[in-house]
Amino acid sequence: MGMSAQDKMLNVASRLGLTTLKDMQGTTRMVYDSQTTAATNHTFFKGAAQRAFPLSNVGANGNQFQVNEALLVEKIGFFIPTAADGIAYTGLGANNRSVLFDLVIGNKTVMKDVSCELGGEQAFYNDGTSASSVIDLEGVGILIPPQVEYYVVAKIYNAAARTAETARLGCYLFGTGALLNFNTTI
Amino acid sequence: MANQVQKLSYVDSKLGVSLPGQQTTRVIYDSINAAAGQQFFQFFTNFAGKTQFQTNLTTNKLDSAESMVIKSVQIIINSATSNIEDHLNLNITVGNQVVLKDFDPSFNCSSRGLSFDRLHSGFNSPTNLEVRLLTEIVIPPQVNFKAELQISNALVAVNDDVTIILKGYGRIFSAGNSF
């Protein structure tokens, strides 16, 4: 039987000496960040504290979680902001856009040169008739521990022609999370 | 990993809820009749003057022998001008604790290939979305709760309706005895 998301979180937390993460509030969590200037290369979550909602939802803590808050990344999606205000967005769809990306946590690259191919995951991902702009992480997922910086470096390209594209881009990380719970009076 | 039934039993027992209750599937909802341009909505805090189709609660807490798990969240907007496929920010608070924080469910709206769920509906609506949560979050008996939703666009017109629906496994009162 495979390891559950909760098991993996607790296992990694234990190895990192985070002994109280097991007492925190379990949740479903997602963080996202948008770059609304068209470019070929984008870096997400770094400096995101400067980008208020709806450009990003990370808040004042920027690209690290608070004490005893964590996210087990189980799914990574990419979207195209429609305008500079970042309010509306679409999937990668047009021009066969796909994304080549790295996920970096702390000083460690934990996903390297991974491509989120437009329309990938056809075996199990079905969103009406729309091609997928999402990649499911194989295995249980990857934990972003509390107070460790994380970011995503991404390049856009045309999945059919295999050539670089220039566009706005956004990225979300989705999975099981933990929220701070004091578990005592303070 | 605990399922909804185990999680509810565990939390209830920790809180000293001894009555077993009738197992059920619980759906609770609250609807807000919006003002023009309204972007921030607080659900389950005001029940005055609402019909049974606008809310099925009369107070912002479950009854003394009732509890439920929040497993899925649905949001519906009745608007000709606004939508919920633009970025959203949803927070759910149980007691004094935020249990769902700065969550953007809009990625599950419409069929854009961005949904969190592997098998997402072909129900391609910009005004109706549902997200199935990965974790079981309990609303215990007699603990107040609320949901706060921020819509990024300011396109809501006067008298548009915004509704949130929480669904999951639950327990309702069962005396298990004759009165």
For residue B72, give the chain A residue with the closest CA.
Answer: A28
pTM: 0.90
Q: How confident is the model at residue B1 (pLDDT cuts 50, 70, 90)?
A: low
Residue B54 belongs to a domain:
yes
Contacts of A53 in chain B (CB under 8 A): 87, 89, 150, 152
**By C-alpha distance, which of B165, B2, B169 is closest to B76?**
B165
Q: Does B97 touch chain A (CB under 8 A)?
A: yes
Instruction: Kindly determine whether residue B124 and residue A128, on different chains, have CB atoms separated by under 8 Å.
Output: yes
Query: How many A×B Cβ pairs under 8 Å?
Result: 121
Whether residue A1 is predicted with pLDDT greater than 70 in this model: the reply is no
Tokens of residue A65, six digits:
């979680």
ipTM computed for the complex: 0.87
For residue B92, give the chain A residue with the closest CA.
Answer: A27
Asked whether B94 and B166 are in contact (CB, 8 A), the reply is: no
Find the CATH number of the domain harbouring B56.
2.60.120
Whether residue A186 is predicted with pLDDT greater than 90 in this model: the reply is no
Contacts of A134 in chain B (CB under 8 A): 113-115
Instruction: Kindly determine whether residue A79 and residue B114, on different chains, have CB atoms separated by under 8 Å.
Output: yes
Asked whether A20 and A145 are in contact (CB, 8 A), the reply is: no
Residue to substitute from A1, A9, A11, A27, interface B, most B β-carbons within 10 A: A27
> Whole-angstrom Cα distance, residue B49 to residue A84?
41
Residue B16 belongs to a domain:
no
Q: Which of A4, A86, A118 sits opposite B1 (nearest CB)?
A: A4
Query: In chain B, which among 53-72 make CB contacts under 8 A with chain A?
Result: none
For residue A3, give the chain B residue with the closest CA.
Answer: B1
- The mean pLDDT value for B130-151 works out to 94
Task: Say which residue, B123 or B33, is predicted with more confidence.
Answer: B33
Asked whether A135 and A97 are in contact (CB, 8 A), the reply is: no
**By C-alpha distance, which of A142, A148, A172, A177 is closest to A63?**
A148
Question: In the prediction, which pLDDT does B20 show?
Answer: 73
Whether residue A131 is predicted with pLDDT greater than 90 in this model: the reply is no
pLDDT tens string A91-128? 998 788 999 999 999 999 999 999 999 888 777 777 87
The total domain count for chain B is 1
CA A144 to chain CA mean position, Å: 10
Q: Does B14 touch chain A (CB under 8 A)?
A: no
Our CA-based measurement puts residue A92 at a distance from the nearest CA of chain B, in whole angstroms, of 8
Residue B49 belongs to a domain:
yes
Q: Which domain holds residue B44?
A: 4-9+39-172
pLDDT tens string B42-86? 999 999 999 999 999 999 999 988 999 999 999 999 999 999 999
The region, left, alpha or beta by phi > 0 then psi within -120 to 50, assigned to residue A121 is left
